[in-house]
A and B are shown apart, each in its own frame.
Chain A
Amino acid sequence: MNIIGKSRRRVDARAKVTGQTRFADDLALPRMVHCKLLRSTIPHARIVRIDVARALAHPGVHMVLTGRDFPIPYGILPVSQDEYALAVERVRFVGDPVAAVIARDELTAFEALDLIDVEYAPLQTIPSPEAGLVATDTIHEYGDRGNIHKIVSLGFGDIDKAFADADHMFEDTFFYQGNTHLPIEQHAALAAKDPDGKLVLWSSTQTPHYVHRALSKALDMPAAHIRVVAAPNGGGFGGKSDPFNHEVVIAKAAWLLDRPVKICLTREEVFYCHRGRHPVLMQFKTGVKRDGTITGVHLKTLLDGGAYGSYGVASTFYTGALQTVTYHIPTYHFQGCRVFTNKPPCGPKRGHGTPQSRFGQEIQLDKIAEALHLDPAEMRLRIVEKPDTLTANYLRVGTIGLEECIRRVTAASNWTNTHRKLPLGRGVGIACSSYLSGAGLPIYWNDMPHSGVQLKLDRSGGVTAFCGATEIGQGSDDVLVGCVAEILGLDPLDIRPVTGDTDLTPVDLGSYSSRVTLMMGNAAIQAAERARDQLAKAVSAKISVPVDRLVFAERRVFDAQNPTVGVSFAEAVCLAEAQFGTIGTTGSYTPPRSAAKFKGGGVGPSPTYSYTAAVVEVEVDPETGWVLVPRVWIAHDIGRALNPPLVRGQVEGSVYMALGEALMEEQIFRRLPPHLSNALVHKFPSMLEYKSPTTMDMPEVFTELVEHPDPRGPFGAKEVGQGPLLPVMPALANAVYDAVGVRIDEVPITPEKILKALDAKAAGKPARYGPAGFPSITWPETLQVPPPWEGGDGKAVNKGESKRKKAEV
């Protein structure tokens, strides 16, 4: 191979280092006006009255919109259509948009916001899921029960029997605090009525196809007359995966005003958009044999959903989906519950729903290994799931490079000579993980491909590759170009990627769930192979060499046995065009059908899974509780690295973001003082106070790529964007224990918590900081699905509980 696997400059690098990448806020159009949103100052209230007269009268104001202008709800999931572009009758968190001003410039729009009078009738504030479980007021009129958005109970085998068979039982509770994506680019969007009278929206979105659908619904306009263009995202991490209220608002405003309308959120507003990591309380009950093999796991999770549905139904299932993919768990019982609260909505952040329970599971395994006097790395090697297996919950795993990942990080970190052998204050910890290479099911039910690629071959020898995938910094344009260049024997710069444009590009579902490399890559290969076949036929006829002897390389098509006999790629295109007409091909990718046929089985299936192991080293000052991380060793089972520096960048970026979550980042809330309304507000919606790691905090990261090509991936590639984040938080917690002998069973692991645990230890109490227990929840009847080894066929043997209202409109 000439392109794949070679380290090379990504196709869009020049634009990025010269400042020429056009992000959404870099776009401007003649006659453009600006939008600002008025946001609720009350966490939960009925809107009694909105008076916009003074704002409308303000010089320079073109339009003021309120909830009355947006009667149709939308939402990312078909079962949670609970958002309105502007609040209708009710606000549900401080930051919920209430009105929009469109004015000649941002300053004027800001001024006019102050002139809108809103009268609220406050309702009970629900600050936590625990409060939501018992509250009498409800935040939504839909959901599974009261303030419970989603509650599930899934049983795979007889858990009581599995626990009876265990030599030892372990029960631990953990808490994972919420945090946010914090992309450096604030969300921005520009909407206009194009010269043909159709609507165009440019936006920093990861999912233009879903925004397209949402706009059509919320504005009641034919989708064919709406064009959504995803501008390159200045970082996404899941935070730009929902259709957003500001996108709907400016689309409508541009339509009504017939002039371009732009919005760029302030940093504070980005904290209110959120859709970030759910705070999750979880309880793991695990039975093990003396050698560490697992007999069964019962996991309970309680998710703080925030004020809207977002991806929350999927997030709930994800907290319990992937435990079985990493380790062999013969019997599994999962119960999850997501509760609405009066805070910005949570959603998908890198790892979507899985980092929280990964954190709990990997710390518990560390505790189990210690109790059984086993080395935690050795014990994990013993329980790694086997390749090509159908798990207890009917996830079909492909290749598994986890054993090699564990061996590589333990060797590189000198594990056997450091674990439990370093002096007080220094420690190492290990943890593992697995992640999807793309969600196996689309967000809305359909049988169509998940990714499509079209190629247009020009007589010049240039190729244009069209795909709906969205470049969010991860390098998806480069994957597209790399795959096509490899098959057609071109230089990547000969290929122009055109991506993320619903008018021009075939649908790709978007940049989420680590799906793009695998799905778009396979579609690109199919399209390129079809083009190659056409060219080969034409060249074969011209130079009288059989098709199967032709090689495509170095911008030529030539005879493998006599490389001087051949034509240039451009000539090959001309020959093919003369023979077949205009040369354009398509490729598409649809994931294999899931083996899970029970309700809820749609979350978790993936064409294949990536695996990661990490060793984290820490230095903990027992006097101050301060944690330093000098080194991280991480090995990732990537299948094949298509462009190694980009893969390394995803791994190191994941380690970085993980360290932020482990040590400092938290999206948390406080009450304003009573004389200032007592409202529940974001504690620090600013970048300065929301701490994230700087250059000074970043350890040395030693990255190992484990490459055993997976036949399901393009050229064998699996995902890398999310999986490597997962093991770092628990490995760090396990390292803190190794260093100072206290368990911190929640993130972020702050000096204060370490000191409290050290104090508890000194006082003879459990050497631990973490949640005391898990609340009593009335779970629905468990849906019983016998695992494959008990003769199951992926279907439930009972009906479970039939549940109530969905917000489907």
Chain B
Amino acid sequence: MQNVSITLTVNGEPTEVAFAPYKTLLEVLREDLNLCGTKHGCELGECGACAVLLDGQPVLSCLVLGVECDGRTVTTVEGLASDGRLHPLQETFADLGAAQCGYCTPGFLVTAKALLDEHPEPTRDQIKEALSGNLCRCTGYQQIFEAVEASLQSLSAQRPVRS
């Protein structure tokens, strides 16, 4: 089978990649772009471990074909930190025990980021609903909710003050 070639923006960097056309975005990220931060737990859209942001929206990368991503923007866990500093969600996940084994963590982080991009001050119920497609077998979720809530403070400090 002949490879297809696409150009896309991955974590802010213009990227060109060639791969077998049947490959999912998950496989392209892990196998062709060496971005192994995105995990797989089922390859059937059941667990949420492979969540990434596609044009800012959370998607399950195991259900997206690589060829669908030509010209689009993908953000993975590797793209959350900037200027050598962790994203506030990464800081609070690390500090508050929201990552135990860490396998589901990348999916939770990008999904939470998408929530906060849309709803800067979500309620606990909104957080639960936004993360309801991400399974975690370690934490019981509570420390994840708390980490998302704790990140709001530093995120709001980062936002420009409206006049």
Residues of A within 8 A of B (CB): 9-10, 12-23, 25-26, 107, 181-186, 232-237, 266-267, 472-475, 645-646, 648-649, 652-657, 686-688, 692, 694-696, 698, 700-701
Contact = CB atoms under 8 A, between A and B. Distances in A.
A13 B95 contact: yes
B138 A17 contact: no
A658 to B, nearest CB: 9
Interface stretch (B2-10, B65-73, B100-108, B155-163): B100-108
Nearest to B41: A184
Contacts of B49: 184
A686 B46 contact: yes
Given A185-B39, A267-B41, A696-B132, A646 B141 contact: no
Given A184-B135, A233-B101, A267-B43, A16 B142 contact: no
B17 interface: no
Given A14-B94, A267-B42, A686-B46, A235 B135 contact: no
B2 to A, nearest CB: 15
B39 A234 contact: yes
B90 interface: yes
B102 A645 contact: no
A657 B105 CA distance: 18
A4 B56 CA distance: 41
Contact of A645 (B46, B47, B96): B96
B106 A19 contact: yes
A786 to B, nearest CB: 44
Contact of A646 (B93, B97, B144): B97
B100 A475 contact: yes
The 10 closest A-B pairs by CB, nearest first: A19-B37, A473-B101, A16-B102, A234-B103, A656-B140, A652-B140, A13-B94, A645-B97, A19-B77, A687-B46
Contact of A698 (B44, B76, B140): B140
Contacts of A657: 137, 140
Given A17-B109, A234-B102, A182 B137 contact: yes
Contacts of A185: 39, 41, 101, 103
Contacts of B91: 17
Nearest to A698: B141
Given A26-B30, A686-B42, A698-B128, 14 more contacts: A10-B94, A15-B102, A16-B105, A18-B77, A183-B101, A184-B39, A186-B41, A235-B100, A235-B101, A645-B95, A645-B97, A657-B140, A695-B127, A700-B142
A16 B43 contact: no
B129 interface: yes
Contact of A17 (B86, B129, B137): B86
B131 interface: yes
Contacts of A698: 128, 140-142
A654 to B, nearest CB: 8
21 contacts: A16-B105, A17-B89, A17-B93, A17-B105, A18-B86, A19-B78, A21-B102, A184-B137, A185-B41, A475-B100, A652-B142, A653-B139, A653-B140, A657-B137, A657-B140, A687-B135, A688-B46, A695-B129, A695-B141, A696-B132, A698-B140
Contacts of B40: 25, 186
A686 B135 CA distance: 13
B102 A232 contact: yes
Contact of A655 (B136, B137, B140): B140
A235 B137 contact: yes
Given A19-B36, A185-B39, A267-B42, A701 B140 contact: yes
Contact of B100 (A14, A649, A686): A649
B94 A648 contact: no
A649 B97 contact: yes
Interface of B is mostly: loop
Contacts of A18: 37, 77-78, 80-81, 86, 90
A582 to B, nearest CB: 34
A25 B77 CA distance: 17
A696 B100 CA distance: 20
Given A18-B37, A653-B139, A686-B42, A235 B103 contact: yes
B72 to A, nearest CB: 20
A552 B142 CA distance: 37
Contacts of A687: 41-42, 44, 46-47, 135
B57 interface: no
Interface residues of B, number: 56
Contacts of A234: 39, 101-104
A184 B44 contact: no
B24 interface: no
Contacts, number: 169
Nearest to B92: A17
B100 A266 contact: no
A698 B86 CA distance: 28
A700 B146 CA distance: 12
B135 A694 contact: yes
Q: Considering residues A18, A654, A656, A687, which has the most beta carbons from chain B within 10 angstroms of its beta carbon? A: A18
Contacts of A473: 100-103, 138
B59 interface: no
Contacts of A232: 101-102
Given A235-B138, A652-B142, A652-B143, A184 B103 contact: yes
A698 B136 CA distance: 11
Nearest to A237: B137
Nearest to A687: B46
Contacts of A474: 100
Contacts of A20: 37
Contacts of A655: 140
B61 interface: no
B49 to A, nearest CB: 5
A23 B39 CA distance: 9
Nearest to A233: B101
A214 to B, nearest CB: 24
A23 B89 CA distance: 22
Interface string B10-46: 0000000000001000000010000111111111101
A233 B86 CA distance: 24
Contacts of A181: 137
Nearest to A703: B142
A22 B41 CA distance: 15
B44 A686 contact: yes
Nearest to B109: A17
A602 B88 CA distance: 49
A472 B103 CA distance: 10
A9 B138 contact: no
A653 B98 CA distance: 11
B60 interface: no
A19 B99 contact: no
Nearest to B37: A19
Contacts of A14: 86, 94
B137 A16 contact: no
Q: Considering residues A19, A654, A655, A687, which has the most beta carbons from chain B within 10 angstroms of its beta carbon? A: A19
A552 B91 CA distance: 29
A236 B109 CA distance: 21
Q: Considering residues B30, B47, B138, which has the most beta carbons from chain A within 10 angstroms of its beta carbon? A: B138
Contacts of B39: 23, 184-185, 234
Q: Considering residues B22, B43, B77, B139, which has the most beta carbons from chain A within 10 angstroms of its beta carbon? A: B139
A645 B100 CA distance: 10
Given A184-B49, A184-B136, A645 B143 contact: yes
A103 to B, nearest CB: 15
Contacts of A656: 137, 139-141
Contacts of B145: 695
Contacts of B102: 12, 15-17, 21, 232, 234, 473
A633 to B, nearest CB: 13
Q: Considering residues A16, A186, A687, A694, which has the most beta carbons from chain B within 10 angstroms of its beta carbon? A: A16
A23 B103 contact: yes
Contacts of A13: 93-95, 99
